[in-house]
Amino acid sequence: MRCRHAQANRSSDRSRKGTCKRSSRTGEDIKEAAGGILSAQAAQKASSEEIKMVVKVYGKAQAVCPQRVMHCLVELGVPFELVHIDIDAMEHKLPEFMSKQPFGQVPYIADGDFELFESRAIVRYLAAKYSDRRHGTPNLLGRTPEERARVEQWMDVEAINYNPWAFPVVLNLFVLPMHGVPENKAEAAAAVEKLDQVLEVYEKHLSKSKYLAGDEFTLADLTHIPATRYVVECCGMGRIFDEKKHVKAWWEDITGRPAWKKVMSFVESGASNYYP
Ligand SMILES: N[C@@H](CCC(=O)N[C@@H](CS)C(=O)NCC(=O)O)C(=O)O
Domain boundaries, the chain: 5-139+259-274, 145-257
CB neighbours of 244 closer than 8 A, spacing ≥ 6? 199, 200, 202, 203
Closest atom of ligand 1 relative to the 117 alpha carbon: 20
Q: What is residue 201's predicted lDDT score, i.e. its pLDDT?
A: 98
CA 168–ligand 1 middle distance (angstroms): 13
Q: What is residue 6's predicted lDDT score, i.e. its pLDDT?
A: 41
CATH 1.20.1050.10 is right for the domain spanning 145-257:
yes
Ligand 1 atom 19: the closest Cα is on which residue? 119
pLDDT digits (tens, 9 = 90+) for 189-202: 999 999 999 999 99
Query: Which of 105, 109, 115, when mutated, tests ligand 1's pocket best, judged by the most ligand atoms within 8 Å of its CB?
Result: 105
Closest atom of ligand 1 relative to the 120 alpha carbon: 19
Q: What is residue 4's predicted lDDT score, i.e. its pLDDT?
A: 53
CA 46–ligand 1 middle distance (angstroms): 32
Report field, pTM of the whole predicted structure over 0.75: yes
Ligand 1 atom 11: the closest Cα is on which residue? 105
Closest atom of ligand 1 relative to the 101 alpha carbon: 20
CA 233–ligand 1 middle distance (angstroms): 20
Q: What is the mean pLDDT of each run of 10 residues along the chain (276 residues)?
A: 45 33 33 36 47 87 98 96 97 98 98 98 96 74 95 98 98 96 96 98 98 97 98 97 98 98 98 96
Q: What is residue 53's predicted lDDT score, i.e. its pLDDT?
A: 78
Closest atom of ligand 1 relative to the 60 alpha carbon: 9
CA 106–ligand 1 middle distance (angstroms): 5
Q: What is residue 99's predicted lDDT score, i.e. its pLDDT?
A: 98
Q: What is residue 276's predicted lDDT score, i.e. its pLDDT?
A: 92
Q: What is residue 52's predicted lDDT score, i.e. its pLDDT?
A: 58
Q: What is residue 133's predicted lDDT score, i.e. its pLDDT?
A: 61
Give yes or no for a contact between 273 and 243, defined as CB atoms under 8 angstroms apart: no
Closest atom of ligand 1 relative to the 87 alpha carbon: 14
Q: Which CATH superfamily is domain 5-139+259-274 in?
A: Glutaredoxin (3.40.30.10)
Ligand 1 pocket, CB under 6 A: 63-65, 87, 92, 104-106, 118-120
